[in-house]
Amino acid sequence: MDIGFIGLGQMGFHMARRLVEAGHQVVVYDTRREAVDRLTALGAQAASSVREVADRVETVMASLPTPDVVHAVAVGKGGLIEGNRVRRFVDLSTTGSVMAGRIFETLGERDIVQIDSPVSGGVNGAAKGTLAVMVSGPRAEATALEPVLAVIGKVFFISEKPGAGQTMKLANNFLSATAMAATAEAVILGVKSGLDPRVMIDVINSGSGRNTATETKYPNNVITRTFDLGFTNGLMMKDVNLALSEAKALGVPMDIAEAVGRAFKRVCDEVGASADMTTIVQPLERRTGVEIRSPGGKR
């Protein structure tokens, strides 16, 4: 299949790469020329604009950082809505259901179908093709695209309702953010009392406190002090805030999400929005005078 791919960041690069390696003809665009060059070196074709991508292929995928960027790329001036050939837009980004619905309606006026397909699994999942792909939109279109989406991960059809995939993604990311924030407090508590964080993580992973943060992020990215998961504090704060917005609209109290949102706001303010989300431990470390690392610097 001929596929356009817009947005070649840490996630987008690997998803586009896997599509190229699977034999698809992929036309790529990113505002950073070096990102495009990495894909063309692997066999992709370069485009000079979003509009050019939409002029060359019927199916355009996008992996973009914020709802506003997705909106601009999809329906803004020079966006894919102005393309002559595009017929479907597969959005792999996290925008929230309200924005997804707006884009769905606007594209529909030009007979372009949006397939909402946010993904979860991080950079490692994107590289390995093991992402969870949460699809919503017209069932026939989703079914036709499933073999393509299966190249990047396991496909889950959520609903025909526009934006339903976004709601699923936000619920997932709220839990992921909560695991990171809660584990920071739990491990700091132990370290402050003199426990070895490596032993703590091993015990937790053999007990009822096990979660995605303790299984991979803390042993691989925090205790090692590399802080290189590949997902930023700012993006996670954005996702938690989107979840809170959806909850407010639906009348769902989310006291825990509000606390988690405050934790990510603090790390964005003190460490930086562009810093890796595993640095959420650092404000607590500074306040308590301890660090989450094995005694003697062991990794």
Residues 136 and 209 in one domain: no
In this model, does residue 23 exceed pLDDT 80?
yes
Residues 7 and 52 in one domain: yes
In this model, does residue 298 exceed pLDDT 80?
no
* Overall number of domains in the chain: 2
Of the residues 100, 126, 161, the one at which a domain ends: 161
Query: What CA–CA distance (Å, rounded) separates 89 from 99?
Result: 14
Bridge partner list, 142: none
Residues 283 and 200 in one domain: yes
Residues 156 and 206 in one domain: no
Of the residues 161, 189, 212, the one at which a domain ends: 161
User: How many degrees, rounded to 5, is the angle at CA 55 between CA 54 and CA 56?
Assistant: 95
Residue 296: predicted pLDDT: 60
Query: What CA–CA distance (Å, rounded) separates 82 from 43?
Result: 26
What tens digit of pLDDT does each residue of 164-221 get? 999 999 999 999 999 999 999 999 999 999 999 999 999 999 999 999 999 999 999 9
Residues 19 and 90 in one domain: yes
In this model, does residue 67 exceed pLDDT 90?
yes
Query: Phi/psi at 132 (nearest 5 deg)?
Result: -90, 120
**Is 169 in the active site?**
yes
CATH code for position 184: 1.10.1040.10
Average pLDDT over residues 134-149: 95
Residues 16 and 53 in one domain: yes
Average pLDDT over residues 25-50: 96
Which of 77, 154, 161, 169 is labelled catalytic?
Answer: 169
Mean pLDDT score of the chain, rounded to an integer?
Answer: 95
What tens digit of pLDDT does each residue of 267-284 get? 999 999 999 999 999 999
Residues 178 and 45 in one domain: no
What tens digit of pLDDT does each residue of 234-268 get? 999 999 999 999 999 999 999 999 999 999 999 99
Residues 68 and 192 in one domain: no
Residues 207 and 244 in one domain: yes
CA distances from 61 to 40, 45, 115, 191 (A): 17, 14, 9, 45
CATH code for position 122: 3.40.50.720
Query: What CA–CA distance (Å, rounded) separates 17 from 20?
Result: 5
In this model, does residue 299 exceed pLDDT 60?
no
Residues 64 and 209 in one domain: no
Of the residues 116, 137, 161, the one at which a domain ends: 161
Residue 294: predicted pLDDT: 79
Containing structural domain, residue 72: 2-161
